[in-house]
Structure 1
Amino acid sequence: MNFAVTPANVAQREAWTGGTIPDVERVRPGLWSIPVPIPINPLRYVLVYALELPGGVAIIDAGWNTDEAYDALVAGLGVAGYTITDVKGVLVTHIHPDHYGLAGRIREMSGAWIALHPADARLVRERYDDAAIDSLIERERALLRRCGVPPLTLDELAGASMMIRHMVSMAKPDLLVEDGDELDLPGWDLRAIWTPGHSPGHLCFVSPSRKVLFSGDHVLAKITPIVAVHPQSGPNPLADYLDSLAAVRGLEVEEVLPAHEYRFLELAGRVDRVLAHHDERLAEIEQVVGAADGVDCWAVATRLTWSRPWEKIQPFMRRSANNETLAHLVWLEAKGRVRRVVGEPDLWYPA
């Protein structure tokens, strides 16, 4: 299924494909796009959106907690005619560091409120509090052991995300935003849509009058977000994600404003392509399981088609690849298309 979305801004797409960072941009009256750099990451930047309010702005997402990211955000707000102290609120689509990391620092500087979905708010302490992180790492280690990760690789993968924890200024939210909530933002008719999958509490925001969807990581122009089983995920995150795609597909919007890459026009067409991608991946995994007489998740992951050869994938991304493979296996199990024999490791067989 070949489908390419139409970029809403060709220069923004060219920046993405050319490996650079796009300009700060006035998307339309009252709305700005501010690229905030992400260090040592192929995504390169997160697109922070500033929504003009009487006497200030609210922003959607925040960026990583680094001086470089903070300075870029301050400079971008300056292009729009604002300072960091003008930020009244931070709507966080989800608690990954590139979206949530700077929220606490922004609140310290401006007194802004921070808003999260309750499902992600419940995960903040265990993920970012030093006193709680050992338990999370041990749970990750146990999950990877059941996936068949080799012993010599286990410790490296279990703690692979520790290197980016310092990119977050841990901050409890001031507001909890549920599915369907109308945000109190004067001049905006912004409604929250709960779209779990990439994270349990991922939120998108739609403005029916302006016909725009702020999609976070839920729907992107080119890549697909990681949807993985991990200690803080739901039991079947891929099922959640596919249902969440259906929840946004029919929205009457003219433009999608994602957190990465570039803005684009065709929401339904892009959703259909993402659904097709997961169908293809599920079929590939089912084929690998069918060709083996019992196989663990790690072995399945090493036999799949990735964007680069398995031996060239870095440890953190190998863990993501394994856990994403597990999410697809769990989905197939729930549909009765594969079966699992529990052990250390769990083994997967054709149904």
Structure 2
Amino acid sequence: MAAPESIRSDVHLVRIPMPGGGLPFSLCYLLEDAEGRIHVIDPGSPGPLAVALIDGALHAIGKRLGDVSSILVTHLHSDHAGAAAALRAATGAPVLMHERERDALAESHGAAGLETTTLDDWGVPADRRAELLALPALPVDGVAAPDAVLTDGQLLDIPGRRVRALWTPGHTAGHLCFDDEDRGVLFTGDHILPTVNPGLGLGGPATDPIGDYLTALRRVAALDREALPGHEGPFPTLAERCAELAEHHLRRARQVQATLRLRPGASVWEVAATLTWTGGWEALAGFTLASALAQTAMHRAFVRSGAAIAW
């Protein structure tokens, strides 16, 4: 097993492979407290490999699974929290997440994915519906129901250090970042990634995920922190990246607004086809197509509501 990467003397990074051919890894973090206990942030994808890698990383820093005191989840997606149930079984440590993630997780089990009525509302052509209707509701395989929930601004029970939960909705309704005030690092999950633009509205109901996300970006941009994200790698330019992500969504809103000015009754599908997508509109399929349509629907609602004007 490869040794973990030490970000600080008591903050260690473990790369957990991701199945599916997208991003190669999710990033799990191990925090040591003043009593020698370990707090795990986002243990990664379901299956035995994640727990084995975390076990190996712990041994590399002179710890073991029995030293794990808590399992902290930024959000409910299985590439971040899918190993939470297995790690809890191996360590006895409690799983903690935001209450909105708990509620969305409870609602997602046994739920269908996209419904025909949604595809009707979006104006999806008949020949593209089967692939969308086959998608699951949320990627939450292996995610454990939490033993306790965290609230915005709550200081975590980590002896000897001040780590605060920050509610940063947008990617999901209950997404959390964890602000390690003493070490000067912010664990950003999928709220902020160094090069990838995180999708929004990917878990649980939200009235205005675009506005929520922009507000949360503004909040964390004010922090003087090194960003420790859930994918890719750590980066120092937190405020600059927040500004880039905000501009990405505002630019998309302006594009949607321009289309609606020419075609006020355009469907979500018709609007999405006019936008610029990484890899091109024609290449989108399955989950990426569903995400693109969902993002477009949110931006269309953001523009039509008038909320975009304030930004």
- TM-score (ref. length: structure 2): 0.92
| 8 Å contact kept, 2:211–2:307 | no
Name the structure 1 match of 2:134: 159
Structure 2 counterpart of 1:78, which letter? Answer: H
Q: 1:323 aligns with which of 276, 284, 294?
A: 294
Structure 1 counterpart of 2:242, which letter? Answer: V
Q: After TM superposition, list the pairs within 5 Å mapping 1:120-159 onto structure 2.
A: 120-127=101-108, 129=109, 132-134=110-112, 137=113, 140-159=115-134
Structure 2 counterpart of 1:97, which letter? Answer: S
Alpha carbons of structure 1 residues 163 and 115: separation in structure 2 relative to 1, 3 Å: closer
Q: 1:57 aligns with which of 31, 34, 38?
A: 38
Name the structure 1 match of 2:92: 111
Q: Secondary structure at the match of 1:58?
A: strand
Q: 1:235 aligns with which of 185, 207, 222?
A: 207
Q: Distance in 2 between matches of 1:80 and 1:145?
A: 54
Structure 1 residue 42, shift from structure 2 partner: 1.8
Give the CA RMSD over aligned residues: 2.1
Q: Secondary structure at the match of 1:59?
A: strand
Name the structure 1 match of 2:256: 285
Structure 2 counterpart of 1:205, which letter? Answer: F
- Which sections of structure 1, spanning at least 5 residues, go unmatched? 1-21, 339-351
Kindly indicate whether structure 1 or structure 2 has the higher relative contact order, using CA contacts under 8 Å at least 6 residues apart: 1
Structure 1 residue 68, shift from structure 2 partner: 3.0
Q: After TM superposition, list the pairs within 5 Å mapping 1:220-259 onto structure 2.
A: 220-228=193-201, 232-253=204-225, 255-259=226-230
**Which stretch shows the higher mean deviation, 286-295 or 84-93?**
286-295
Structure 1 counterpart of 2:254, which letter? Answer: A
Q: Secondary structure at the match of 2:136?
A: helix
Alpha carbons of structure 1 residues 141 and 102: separation in structure 2 relative to 1, 3 Å: farther
Structure 1 residue 156, shift from structure 2 partner: 2.2
Alpha carbons of structure 1 residues 320 and 328: separation in structure 2 relative to 1, 3 Å: same
What are the Cα deviations for residues 94-139 of structure 1, in whole angstroms up to 9, with x where unaligned?
A: 0011111111111111101100100111011222x2xx324xx36x
Structure 2 counterpart of 1:149, which letter? Answer: V
| 8 Å contact kept, 1:38–1:69 | no
Structure 2 counterpart of 1:261, which letter? Answer: E
- Which sections of structure 2, spanning at least 5 residues, go unmatched? none
Alpha carbons of structure 1 residues 117 and 164: separation in structure 2 relative to 1, 3 Å: closer
Alpha carbons of structure 1 residues 144 and 262: separation in structure 2 relative to 1, 3 Å: same
Structure 1 residue 322, shift from structure 2 partner: 0.3
Q: Does 1:44 align with 2:15?
A: no
Q: Does 1:178 align with 2:151?
A: yes
Structure 1 counterpart of 2:117, which letter? Answer: A
Q: Distance in 2 between matches of 1:207 and 1:293?
A: 46
Alpha carbons of structure 1 residues 205 and 83: separation in structure 2 relative to 1, 3 Å: same
Structure 2 counterpart of 1:271, which letter? Answer: C
Q: After TM superposition, list the pairs within 5 Å mapping 1:256-275 onto structure 2.
A: 256-275=227-246
Structure 1 residue 23, shift from structure 2 partner: 6.7
Structure 1 residue 293, shift from structure 2 partner: 5.2
Alpha carbons of structure 1 residues 172 and 208: separation in structure 2 relative to 1, 3 Å: same
Q: Secondary structure at the match of 2:248?
A: helix
Q: Secondary structure at the match of 2:40?
A: strand
Q: Does 1:195 align with 2:173?
A: no
Structure 1 residue 300, shift from structure 2 partner: 1.1
Structure 1 counterpart of 2:18, which letter? Answer: I
Q: Distance in 1 between matches of 2:295 and 2:169?
A: 15
Structure 2 counterpart of 1:51, which letter? Answer: L
> Percent identical across equivalent pairs?
33
Structure 1 residue 76, shift from structure 2 partner: 2.5
Count of matched residue positions in the alignment of Structure 1 and Structure 2:
307
Q: Secondary structure at the match of 2:117?
A: helix
Q: 1:74 aligns with which of 55, 59, 66?
A: 55
Structure 1 residue 163, shift from structure 2 partner: 9.5
What are the Cα deviations for residues 222-253 of structure 1, in whole angstroms up to 9, with x where unaligned?
A: 1121013x682302111111111111111132
Q: Distance in 2 between matches of 1:50 and 1:323?
A: 34
Q: Secondary structure at the match of 1:161?
A: coil
Name the structure 2 match of 1:3: none
| 8 Å contact kept, 1:91–1:114 | yes
Alpha carbons of structure 1 residues 184 and 313: separation in structure 2 relative to 1, 3 Å: same
Structure 1 counterpart of 2:30, which letter? Answer: A
Q: 1:211 aligns with which of 153, 164, 184?
A: 184
Q: After TM superposition, list the pairs within 5 Å mapping 1:73-112 onto structure 2.
A: 73-112=54-93
Structure 1 residue 36, shift from structure 2 partner: 0.5
What are the Cα deviations for residues 24-67 of structure 1, in whole angstroms up to 9, with x where unaligned?
A: 20111111011111111421111101001324311111101023
